Structure 1
């Protein structure tokens, strides 16, 4: 096998695609958690503002921090997810190009010999 064997390159691309898919899934999970944190923070802030519980200023500040942290985490992971999906698309195009360059041989149909 040569140093630039397409099969080796395709295998490396497949490994990269698997790693990128795992990263994308992690981003999706963090995005969902960020959305939950934002919703929870807003709900806690509303409860605190309406005075349903005697939570006080600490709960209000905590809910604001939860909302802001969720927003930051959401924005960061949405951006990372976009970059990851772009990298996945590029790797899939490269893999498709390498597969297209492989010199495939046609295997002739031959009668089966049974012993």
Structure 2
């Protein structure tokens, strides 16, 4: 291997892509949980406002907090997911460029020797 051999850098980039993919998957899970929190909080608020089950003001305040917390979490994780996807795209482009720069050798077909 030569000093300019990009295989080590390609391995490092692949490791980084794997770590970024894990972060992206975690963001997707938090986004789903945030959407569930928003929906649950909105449903609880509606039930509280209608007085169906006789929940008090504590339930109304809790549902408002749940909706607001879900919105904040959703926005934060969507932003992080976008940044992570951009970083993955950049890393994949760099990896493709490094793979393209490798000087490949042509291997001629050789007759098979049966032992």
Global fold match (TM > 0.5): yes
Runs in 1 of length 4+ with deviation above 4 angstroms? none
The 2-side partners of 1:2 and 1:36 are apart by 53
Task: Show the 5 A alignment for 1:1-115.
Answer: 1-115=1-115
In 2, the alpha carbon distance for the partners of 1:34 and 1:4 equals 47
Distance in structure 1 (CA, Å) of the matches to 2:104 and 2:80: 38
Distance (Å, rounded) in 2 between the aligned partners of 1:66 and 1:4: 54
1:55 deviates by 1.1
Equivalent position SS for 1:60: helix
With 70-79 and 103-112 compared, the bigger mean Cα shift is at 103-112
Q: How large is the RMSD of aligned CA atoms in angstroms?
A: 0.9
Aligned residues: 115
TM-score, normalised via structure 1 length? 0.97
**Separation in structure 1 between the aligned mates of residue 78 and residue 4 of structure 2, nearest angstrom:** 36
